[in-house]
C-alpha cells in the first residue's frame, strides 16, 4: 500500500484540480432540462447505492414525476452505446446489453421509471426528455460526474467500510479526497445495521461537512424468490422463505461480505459462501463449481442476489436456487422524502 501512496497522492491532486475547475466555472456543467438528483459514492466498490437509487425514483414517481434513471451501466458489453433498459412498462435489455444493476432496477421499477444506460448522460437526458417527457432525473453514481448539473447531491457511505482505508485510488478506495464531501447536500450511511456503531465516523464526517443532513439506512430481506420465478417476473410474498435447508451463498458485489453478514444476521441457514468480482458474468462452468462446492458443504440450495440472478438467465442450474430481495429502511424517511420531493 505504501508503494502506491505517491500514485494515490497524484490521483487525488488531479481530482482536486478538476473539482476546482468546475467550482470556478472553468469546466462547464450542463443543465439536464429537468430537476436532477445525483446519488453517488466517495469510495469505489459497493456502498449499497443501488437500492437508494430505486427508492428515490419511487418517491419521485409517487409525487407524479416522470422519472428517468441515467446510468453508465457498468459491466455491459458495449459501454459506449445508448441502451433503453426500461421504457416504463417493459424491460428491454438483458444484463449484457444494459448492465446488471440497471436491469435489476428495471425489474423493481416497472411503471415507475425509465432507465437509460449511456456514458454521455447530458446527451441522454436531452434525448429522454424528447422521447419520454421526463420531468425528473436520478443520476446513478453521479457524485464525480460533475458535467451534469444537479439540484441535490446525495453521497452514500458504507457503515462497514466508511473511508476505504483512508487513501485515494490506487493506494486505497477513495475516489477523491474526503474534502469532496463538502459538496454533498445529504449523506446516507448505508448498512448501518451491520455496524456496531456509526457515531465515531459521523463525527469524522462532520469535519468535512457540518451542515448537510445525515441519514442512517438499513438493508433487510424483503422477500425470497425461486430463480425461475424471479427471472419470469413472478412476485413472491414478502415474508415467504421458500427453503428450510442450508444454503450456499454466492454473489459478485462491490462489498460481497455485506451480503453474507446480512443473511447471517437475519438467521438464514448458511453453510458456505463464494464471492466473485463485482459485475462478474457467470458461465456454465461457474455454476458447476458452485454446485459442487454446495454439495460438499452440505447445502441443499444456492442463494444469491437480484444483481447476480439477472446474469443466470439461459444457464442450466441443477440445484434449487433462490434470489434474495432487500429493502432499504431509513431512520427518518419523511425528512428524506421531503428533501428530494420539495424541489
Mean pLDDT in each 10-residue stretch from start to end of the chain (343 residues)? 69 89 94 98 88 97 98 92 96 96 95 97 98 98 96 95 85 91 97 90 93 95 92 66 79 94 92 96 97 96 96 95 94 96 88
Per-residue pLDDT at 309: 97
Per-residue pLDDT at 27: 95
- Closest by Cα among 243, 245, 304, 242 to 273: 304
Per-residue pLDDT at 234: 74
∠ CA 72-75-78, nearest 5°, is 70
Tell me whether residue 267 is exposed, middle or buried, using C-beta atoms within 10 angstroms of its C-beta: 0 to 12, 13 to 18, 19 or more: exposed
Per-residue pLDDT at 244: 64
pLDDT tens for residues 51-65?
999 999 999 999 999
Per-residue pLDDT at 2: 59
pLDDT tens for residues 237-296?
544 455 667 999 999 999 999 999 999 999 999 999 999 999 999 999 999 999 999 999
Per-residue pLDDT at 239: 44
Give the burial string for 285-296 (b: 16+ CB within 10 Å, else e): ebbeebbebbee
2-218+329-341, what's its fold?
A: Rossmann fold (3.40.50)
Termini Cα distance of the chain: 43
Sheet containing 214-226: give its strands across.
83-87, 113-117, 67-71, 136-140, 35-41, 152-158, 186-190, 214-226, 321-330, 301-305, 247-251, 270-275
Answer whether 2-218+329-341 and 223-325 agree in fold. yes
Per-residue pLDDT at 32: 98
**What distance lies between CA 281 and its chain's CA centroid?**
17
Give the burial string for 177-192 (b: 16+ CB within 10 Å, else e): bbebbebbbbbbbbbb
Q: Are 64 and 184 in contact (CB under 8 A)?
A: no
What are the sequence ranges of the domains in the chain?
Answer: 2-218+329-341, 223-325
Pick the CATH number of 223-325 from 1.10.10, 3.30.1890, 3.90.1200, 3.40.50: 3.40.50
Amino acid at each position: 500500500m505504501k508503494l502506491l501512496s505517491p500514485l494515490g497522492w497524484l490521483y487525488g491532486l488531479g481530482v482536486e484540480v478538476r473539482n476546482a475547475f468546475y467550482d470556478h466555472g472553468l469546466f462547464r456543467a450542463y443543465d439536464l432540462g429537468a430537476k436532477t438528483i445525483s446519488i453517488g459514492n466517495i469510495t469505489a466498490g459497493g456502498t449499497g447505492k443501488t437500492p437508494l437509487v430505486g427508492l428515490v425514483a419511487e418517491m419521485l414517481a409517487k409525487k407524479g414525476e416522470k422519472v428517468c434513471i441515467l446510468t453508465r451501466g457498468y459491466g455491459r458489453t458495449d459501454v459506449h452505446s445508448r441502451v433503453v433498459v426500461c421504457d416504463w412498462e417493459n424491460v428491454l435489455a438483458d444484463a449484457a446489453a444494459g448492465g446488471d444493476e440497471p436491469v435489476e432496477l428495471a425489474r423493481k421499477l416497472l411503471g415507475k421509471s425509465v432507465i437509460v444506460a449511456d456514458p454521455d448522460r447530458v446527451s441522454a437526458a436531452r434525448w429522454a426528455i424528447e422521447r419520454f417527457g421526463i420531468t425528473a432525473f436520478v443520476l446513478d453514481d453521479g457524485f464525480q460526474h460533475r458535467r451534469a448539473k444537479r439540484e441535490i447531491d446525495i453521497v452514500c457511505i458504507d457503515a462497514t467500510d466508511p473511508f476505504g482505508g483512508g487513501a485515494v485510488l490506487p493506494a486505497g478506495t477513495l475516489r477523491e479526497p474526503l474534502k469532496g464531501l463538502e459538496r454533498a447536500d445529504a449523506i446516507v450511511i448505508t448498512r448501518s445495521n451491520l455496524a456496531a456503531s456509526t457515531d465515531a465516523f459521523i463525527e469524522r464526517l462532520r469535519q468535512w461537512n457540518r451542515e448537510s443532513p445525515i441519514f442512517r439506512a438499513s438493508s433487510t430481506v424483503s422477500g425470497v424468490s425461486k430463480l425461475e420465478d424471479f427471472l419470469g417476473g413472478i412476485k413472491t410474498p414478502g415474508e415467504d422463505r421458500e427453503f428450510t435447508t442450508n444454503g450456499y451463498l454466492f454473489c459478485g458485489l462491490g462489498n460481497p461480505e455485506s451480503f453474507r453478514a446480512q443473511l447471517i444476521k437475519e438467521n438464514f441457514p448458511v453453510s458456505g459462501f463464494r464471492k466473485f468480482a463485482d459485475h462478474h458474468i457467470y458461465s456454465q462452468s461457474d455454476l458447476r463449481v458452485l454446485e459442487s462446492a454446495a454439495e460438499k458443504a452440505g447445502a441443499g440450495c444456492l442463494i444469491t442476489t437480484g444483481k447476480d440472478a439477472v446474469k443466470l438467465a439461459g444457464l442450466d442450474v441443477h440445484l434449487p436456487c433462490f434470489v434474495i430481495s432487500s429493502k432499504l429502511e431509513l431512520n427518518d424517511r419523511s425528512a428524506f422524502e421531503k428533501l428530494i420531493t420539495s424541489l
